[in-house]
Structure formats: structure tokens, C-alpha cells
Amino acid sequence: MSDESVRWIQEEMDRLREAGLLANIRAIESPMDGRVIIDGREVLNFCANNYLGLANHPRLREAAKQAIDDYGIGPGAVRTIAGTMTLHLELERRLAQFKKAAACITFQSGFMANLATIPALVGRGDVIFSDELNHASIIDGSRLSRAKIVRYNHADADDLQRKIQETTDYRRALIVTDGVFSMDGDMAPLDKICEVAEEHGIILMVDDAHGEGVVGQGGRGIVDHFGLHGRVQVEVGTLSKAFGVVGGLVAGDRTIVEWLRQRGRPFLFSSAMTVPDVAACIEAVSVLEESTDLVDRLWSNARVLKQGLQEMGFDTGHSQTPIVPVMLGEAPLAQEFSRRLFDEGVFAMAIGYPTVPMGKARIRVMNTAAHSEQDLEEALAAFERVGKMLSVIGK
């Protein structure tokens, strides 16, 4: 019997369960890779953000082990007290160099990077111009800042321009957008947004969590992709997706990076990234600097999968990245599709309302460099079987 005080929570949970909205959390019994073991069974994994297969890369594993021997595990403090090890500074230096940015600061996660950055840049009396589809961590960081939030139409620089012109009576402003949008795999028109930002003298912040290690030359990110070095003041990235570890970063304007060391609250009040995480991330930078092989394989895998699905007659939306949505319409169909794929040995997530709009439910296929040609062939065959079974594509 639940305590009376938590009864309302139990009731909410029951409602979610009845509506089929309760998150089904699967446990992975193996390393994160192109194939994983779930419920004792090996399945092809098309759910992870492990774009480059670095989560189980031998060099990252080795670097983490070596660092543990040299430095132990925990940092023991927040960055400003005793939690900054030479390793943290080395990672920041290496990331800045890799991304051709003036400076870089790391955080415990991408989510933390947004919570640190937005309230450090704007506050009460200020305004944030925010893409309507921005990530939850941008929304939460914006709310924490107490600035007024003005949403502009998704990926629409003209609407951003209009919203800025219509908004008066504010002190400072910030424009913030996701770089790659995680549900459709489309990209912000950062070149156009940058022009608008410069015209109005507003700080531009892009959260490139799904572009870090994926877009730009050799995975250098969205600022590199558009050749906007030195013109985007804040480029947030994550070390938790393509980098295969966990952590967050802000690269860009040196003054802002130094300001975040003084005023970023998760930097000041939450302990630093752990030693093995930092060491593995440094090694990831080395891997990416030495060769573009992994990034190239990621993109060619994504091309093969997307083309294969399209040729079978699936609608793959308007993705510009290795995130491939397979549009199915209603949520129950997407759920059923995902269940049957799993029976066929393919782990690919169904995504429905409220994560995506009503009637836009889909299977989201996350491609990675960890998949072999054989893996892709097997996955395509499974999609074809299930697609025909559920009459999504013709016989």
C-alpha cells in the first residue's frame, strides 16, 4: 500500500499506463554497440545516440583504464574548489582546437551546459528568442533565467526577424536554437539565423548535441558545417552522444567561456566530470583528429539505410542527418511496428505524442558507424517484413 501522500502520483502513473504513455525502460545487458543484448537476446540497435560507435571503442576503454590508474575515479569537488584536474583543462584545450573555437569549457552533461549558460547570459528584463522545437534542456535553462521567452516558428529565420522587430522594451537578448533537431533530423538554418543575430547585435547560441561529432568536417559540429567560426558566440555540445561518453561543453567566444567559469551555476555548485569520462573524451578527440573514417562510415550507413527504406516505399520525412524518421502516422501503429521489429531482432524506438505532434508518430532510426553492411541488410529486411505485415508498404 502506498502512503496517502503519494497516492496522486500512483493515480497519474495508472492514467499514463492506460493511455499507453508509460515509458517502457529496457535494460541493456551488454556494451553499447551496433548490436546489444536485451532480455538475453542479441538485437540490432538503432536507438542509441552512439553515432560513431565510440561508447565501446577499444581506445576509449584503454584511455579510461589508464587514467584511473594515474588519477583515480572521482574529482572530489566542484571545478572552482578542487575539482579541476589537469585532465579537465587538457580536454577543454583539445576540444577548442578540434572545433577551431576560441575557447571551450566542459560541464557534466549537455543538459547542464544549457542550465549553466542561459541564466548566465540573460535574466529578468531580458528576452530569449527560441525555436519552437528546442530541446527540453534549453526550455528549462530559459525558465531558470527568468527572461521572457519569445518562440519563433521552427527553423524560420524570417519569423525570427519578425519576432525581434515586434519585441520592444527589453534590456539584453539571446537567440537560441538546436543545431540538429532530434526528432526529424533536420538542421537549423544557422547561416541565416547568424545574419539576423548580427544585424541586431544579439548573442547567438546553438545547441549542437546531435551535430557534435556528426556534422561539419570530420564531425567538428554545426558551426564548422556552416563555416561560421568566430561568428556564433555559444556552441553547446554534448560528449554523451557521438563522443560515446557523458559530458557537455560550450565552445565559442572566449569572454563568455571565462564568464561561465565565474557564473555557470552547475560549474560552481556541482562536481566535475569523472576521471575516466574525461580521459575517454580526450581519446575521442584524438580518434576524430586522426581520421574521418568513423564519421564517413556513419554518413554512408545512413545513406544506405535511408535509400533502402525509401525504395521500399517508406516515408522518411525530411532528415538531413543520420537520424532517420520512418513516418507512420498514429501512435498505436508506431508502437506495434516497433514491437514487431523487436521480434524480428531490430531495436528501434516508436515515438509519438507529445514528443512529436499528433498524427506524426514514427519509428526513429538512429544510424551509427558501429553497424556493418550485414547489419544494415538485416535491418532493411526486417523493416520490409514488418512494413508489409502491417500494410504500411505494398506487398
Ligand X SMILES: *Cc1c(COP(=O)(O)O)cnc(C)c1O
Reduced to 3 states (helix: H, G, I; strand: E, B; else coil), residue 298 is: helix
* CA–CA separation, 352 and 366 (whole Å): 16
- Nearest approach, Cβ of residue 241 and ligand X (Å): 6
| Contacting residue, 145, 238, 319, 368, with ligand X by CB under 6 A | 238
Q: At what angle do helices 293-312 and 275-290 cross, to 10 degrees?
A: 80
248 lines the binding site for ligand X (CB under 6 A): yes
The residue among 48 and 386 lying less far from ligand X, judged by its C-beta, is 48
Which segment (39-47, 52-60, 109-117, 278-286) binds ligand X by CB under 6 A?
109-117
Tell me the one-letter amino acid at 89. L
Q: Is 210 considered catalytic here?
A: yes
Q: What gap in Å lies between CA 213 and CA 225, rounded to an integer?
A: 11
Query: Considering the rule CB under 6 A, would residue 111 count as an interface residue with ligand X?
Result: yes
* Contact with ligand X (CB under 6 A) among 50, 137, 145, 368: 137
For residues 12-37, one letter each, b for 16 or more C-beta atoms within 10 angstroms of the residue's C-beta and e for the rest, the string is eeeeeeeeeeeeeeeeeeeebbbbbe
* Interacting residue with ligand X among 34, 53, 75, 110 (CB under 6 A): 110
Q: How far is the CB of 237 from ligand X (least distance, A)?
A: 9
182 part of the active site:
yes
329 Ramachandran zone, left/alpha/beta (phi>0; psi -120 to 50): left
Residues 201-220, one symbol each (x = binds ligand X by CB under 6 A, - = not), give ------x-xx----------
Strands 103-107 and 127-131, sheet pairing: unpaired
Alpha carbons 72 and 76: distance in angstroms, whole number: 10
Is-contact 47 379, C-beta < 8 A? no
Q: Could you tell me how far CA 55 lies from the centroid of its own chain?
A: 15
Residue closest to ligand X, measured at CB: 110
Least distance CB 386 / ligand X (angstroms) = 27
Is 163 one of the catalytic residues?
no
Out of 135, 306, 360, 371, point to the residue binding ligand X (CB under 6 A): 135
Contacts of residue 291, Cβ cutoff 8 Å, sequence gap at least 6: none
237 contributes a contact to ligand X by CB under 6 A: no
From the candidates 57, 163, 210, 225, give the one annotated as an active-site residue: 210
- For the bound state, the minimum distance from the C-beta of residue 208 to ligand X, rounded and expressed in Å, comes to 8
Q: Is 94 in the site for ligand X (CB under 6 A)?
A: no
Contact flag: residue 266 with ligand X (CB under 6 A): no
Which of the following is catalytic: 241, 306, 360, 371? 241
- 106 burial type by CB count under 10 A (0-12 exposed, 13-18 middle, 19+ buried): buried
Q: Is 182 a residue that touches ligand X (CB under 6 A)?
A: yes
Query: In the bound complex, what is the minimum distance in angstroms from residue 137's beta carbon to ligand X?
Result: 4
**Which residues lie near ligand X (CB under 6 A)?**
109-111, 135, 137, 178, 182, 207, 209-210, 238, 240, 248
| Residue numbers annotated as active site | 182, 210, 241
